[in-house]
């Protein structure tokens, strides 16, 4: 019995000592970890934008008068020269002598503008023909391997730019013709022309082929000269207008790739930056902070069939791709912390311990960072390390 009691006492003592030792031993710190992997990575600027018709024409009243009710609805197809609105004379004289003289002056000014627009169109046509012939010539040389792909790409870009300039110049001629017609209409239907009793109404026509984008003066009523009645344009020729922070705008360049998401379709659309406007503006954010922002204009490069349901002033989310790589060693941004001033480091999990590893970073996307050195593919790096973890600390991965 004495021996049994002795063994029990010894056993209890051993258990107590072991419990005390175990209680004072440092406990492994629970931590989360992910592997450093090689995967595609991109650095983007994401902002909300909206579509807009490239060549929009706001059709306005050329003279003051009484507008009849406009029967057209938004989305209706119109042809160049088709009547879209009718102005009846006001109950008083349409044009007094002073207005008549001003109308004559506007006709002369419109004639001069039309002449200048035609000259610009002729010059643009010559440039386009030259760019096309140069592109055709260099295409043959490129096919035979006599010129570099870079030179061929420049020639193709010049040819596309020349065609776009010609297209814009032709639109400018159409606009000048419309303005001349409008000026002549103002003069033709003056009350001073009493011998033209039959010309009492002013027919307003569409300057181009397109669709009605918006009707701003639907019901009949009095309008002043210059009041916009409706807008027309080609909804198949749209671009995207996005306002971005000015410090982001300086990193965006023409030709940069854009992805449009959350536009209503199943897949993102592709685009290309065409212009970064040189002037900025002040905008108050939702938090009440004044921000300097800049408009960035981009075009769709995806096929027309994918975005044909998009119209004017539709919302899109524009992702401007500043940089992208296909095989990039990266770690989460949450694993990074400052290490001695401007340096960065991570904790790598090895044999149940956290090992401090200084790293050299490349590009950063906000969610992940490119690692140039300090970490190898497959290393387990701790995410969100707290202050209790130090170099050599015992850890337990969750």
Q: How far is CA 188 from CA 28, 84, 89, 193, in A?
A: 93, 19, 12, 7
Q: Is residue 376 part of a domain?
A: yes
pLDDT at 194: 46
- Same structural domain, 175 and 204: no
pLDDT at 133: 81
End-of-domain residue from the set 324, 339, 357:
324
- Same structural domain, 157 and 115: yes
Q: Distance between CA atoms of 237 and 55, rounded to whole angstroms?
A: 8
- Same structural domain, 254 and 319: yes
Q: Is residue 18 part of a domain?
A: no
pTM of structure:
0.58
Instruction: Please list the pLDDT of the chain residue by residue as tens digits (398 residues).
Output: 567 777 676 777 666 666 655 555 567 888 899 999 999 999 999 999 999 988 889 999 998 888 999 999 988 999 999 999 999 887 645 566 777 777 778 888 888 888 888 888 788 788 888 878 877 777 877 777 777 777 777 877 777 887 888 788 888 888 888 888 877 776 666 554 544 455 578 889 998 888 899 999 999 888 999 999 999 988 878 899 999 999 999 999 999 999 999 999 889 999 999 999 999 999 998 889 999 999 999 999 999 889 888 888 899 999 999 999 999 999 999 999 988 778 899 999 998 899 999 999 999 988 999 999 999 999 999 999 888 888 888 888 88
Structural domain count, the chain? 4
End-of-domain residue from the set 302, 324, 346:
324
- Same structural domain, 225 and 258: no
Q: What is the CATH number of the domain that holds 304?
A: 2.40.30.170
pLDDT at 17: 64
- Same structural domain, 387 and 258: no
Q: Distance between CA atoms of 21 and 171, rounded to whole angstroms?
A: 89
Q: Distance between CA atoms of 268 and 44, rounded to whole angstroms?
A: 14
Query: For residue 143, with 0-12 CB atoms within 10 Å meaning exposed, 13-18 middle and 19 or more buried, which class applies?
Result: exposed
- Same structural domain, 73 and 212: yes
- Same structural domain, 109 and 164: yes
pLDDT at 90: 74
pLDDT at 298: 95
Domain interval for residue 215? 57-90+194-231
Q: Is residue 173 part of a domain?
A: yes
Q: What is the CATH number of the domain that holds 360?
A: 2.40.420.20
Q: Is residue 9 part of a domain?
A: no
């Amino acid at each position: 019995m004495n021996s049994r009691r002795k063994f029990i006492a010894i056993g209890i003592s051993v258990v107590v000592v072991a419990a005390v030792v175990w209680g004072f031993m440092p406990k492994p710190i629970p931590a989360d970890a992910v592997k450093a992997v090689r995967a595609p990575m991109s650095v983007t600027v994401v902002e909300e934008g909206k579509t807009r018709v490239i060549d929009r024409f706001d059709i306005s009243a050329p003279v003051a008068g009484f507008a009849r009710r406009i029967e057209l609805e938004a989305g209706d197809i119109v042809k160049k020269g088709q009547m879209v609105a009718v102005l009846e004379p006001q109950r008083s004289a349409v044009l007094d002598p002073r207005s008549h003289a001003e109308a004559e002056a506007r006709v002369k000014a419109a004639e001069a503008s039309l002449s200048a627009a035609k000259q610009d169109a002729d010059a643009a046509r010559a440039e386009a023909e030259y760019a096309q012939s140069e592109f055709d010539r260099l295409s043959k040389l490129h096919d035979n391997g006599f010129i570099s792909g870079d030179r061929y790409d420049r020639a193709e870009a010049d040819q596309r730019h020349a065609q776009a300039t010609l297209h814009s110049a032709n639109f400018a001629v159409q606009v000048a013709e419309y303005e001349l017609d409008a000026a002549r209409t103002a003069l033709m239907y003056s009350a001073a022309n009493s011998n033209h009793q039959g010309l009492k109404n002013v027919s307003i026509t569409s300057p181009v082929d397109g669709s009605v984008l918006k009707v701003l003066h639907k019901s009949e009523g009095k309008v002043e000269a210059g009041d916009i009645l409706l807008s027309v344009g080609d909804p198949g020729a749209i671009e995207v207008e996005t306002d971005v922070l000015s410090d982001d705008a300086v990193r965006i360049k023409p030709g940069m790739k854009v992805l449009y998401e959350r536009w209503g379709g199943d897949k993102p659309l592709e685009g290309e930056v065409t212009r970064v406007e040189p002037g900025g503006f002040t905008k108050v954010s939702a938090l009440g902070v004044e921000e300097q922002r800049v408009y960035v204009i981009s075009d769709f490069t995806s096929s027309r069939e994918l975005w044909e349901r998009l119209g004017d002033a539709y919302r899109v989310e524009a992702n401007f791709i500043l940089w992208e790589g296909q095989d990039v060693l990266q770690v989460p941004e949450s694993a990074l912390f400052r290490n001695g001033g401007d340096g960065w480091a991570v904790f790598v999990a090895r044999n149940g311990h956290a090992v401090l590893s200084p790293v050299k970073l490349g590009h950063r996307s906000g969610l992940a960072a490119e690692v140039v050195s300090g970490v190898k593919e497959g290393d387990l790096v701790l995410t969100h390390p707290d202050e209790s973890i130090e170099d050599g600390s015992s850890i337990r991965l969750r």
